[in-house]
A and B are shown apart, each in its own frame.
Chain A
Amino acid sequence: DAGVIQSPRHEVTEMGQEVTLRCKPISGHDYLFWYRQTMMRGLELLIYFNNNVPIDDSGMPEDRFSAKMPNASFSTLKIQPSEPRDSAVYFCASRHRALGDTQYFGPGTRLTVL
């Protein structure tokens, strides 16, 4: 199995630009999670999906952030417009409920907003 795939691995952009992060979960997994990690705030859950439907987006910091999951094998996290305080590492994780509670993490996307 290829594991959770995220792209790009690194993104550098300027303030005000739109940023789109991509995630491909492990095949057959029915939950998908987006996390943000910073030194100050640690690991924060932004949103999660079950069977492509957003279940809890209470962690999304503000309306500039949006996430979609158009099908079982693809999800995006979009920031528009981006701000320097959005600089962080963004992780995607997936889980198969029938196999237990373990989440499998992707390698992350390091976002730098100048």
Chain B
Amino acid sequence: GDSVTQMEGPVTLSEEAFLTINCTYTATGYPSLFWYVQYPGEGLQLLLKATKADDKGSNKGFEATYRKETTSFHLEKGSVQVSDSAVYFCALSDQFGGQGFSFIFGKGTRLLVKP
């Protein structure tokens, strides 16, 4: 079945450091890939997404490229800020015939950025 694996946290960085959070997936079809972010006490918010191979999603300085050959969708940001401290979830959506589809989240990676 489909699955998502992301690096365990917490990830602790200093402000302005480079961020990478790894995410790999397995899927039976041609999934869409997502990164969601969850700030303390809030629900998940879509950060970025990519719907096909080689697509790059980007938002708020974050980027991730859909790599079919390595089944990966790593999240990167060149210079993190304290306000980026949150939990980041990698996810995939895979459509089957009819109404069926799967939407699977990774376990989340907590990022803590220190001033």
Contacts and interface: CB of A to CB of B under 8 A. Distances in A.
B108 A42 contact: yes
A107 to B, nearest CB: 5
A91 B99 contact: no
A105 interface: yes
A97 to B, nearest CB: 9
Contacts of A33: 103
Contact of A91 (B34, B43, B95): B43
A100 B51 contact: yes
A100 B32 contact: yes
Contacts, number: 47
Interface string B67-110: 00000000000000000000001000101000111011111100
A43 interface: yes
A12 B89 CA distance: 28
Contacts of B101: 101
Interface residues of B, number: 22
Given A42-B105, A101-B93, A50 B43 contact: no
Given A42-B108, A43-B89, A43-B108, A101 B103 contact: yes
Contacts of A103: 46, 103
B103 A50 contact: no
Interface in B42-66: 42-46, 49, 51
B14 to A, nearest CB: 26
Given A101-B32, A102-B49, A105-B43, A45 B99 contact: no
6 contacts: A42-B105, A43-B89, A43-B107, A48-B103, A101-B34, A102-B49
Which 7 A-B pairs give the minimum distances between C-beta atoms?
A105-B43, A101-B93, A42-B107, A105-B44, A101-B32, A43-B105, A107-B43
Given A4-B43, A91-B44, 15 more contacts: A42-B107, A42-B108, A43-B44, A43-B89, A43-B105, A43-B107, A45-B104, A55-B99, A56-B100, A93-B43, A101-B32, A101-B93, A102-B34, A103-B103, A104-B46
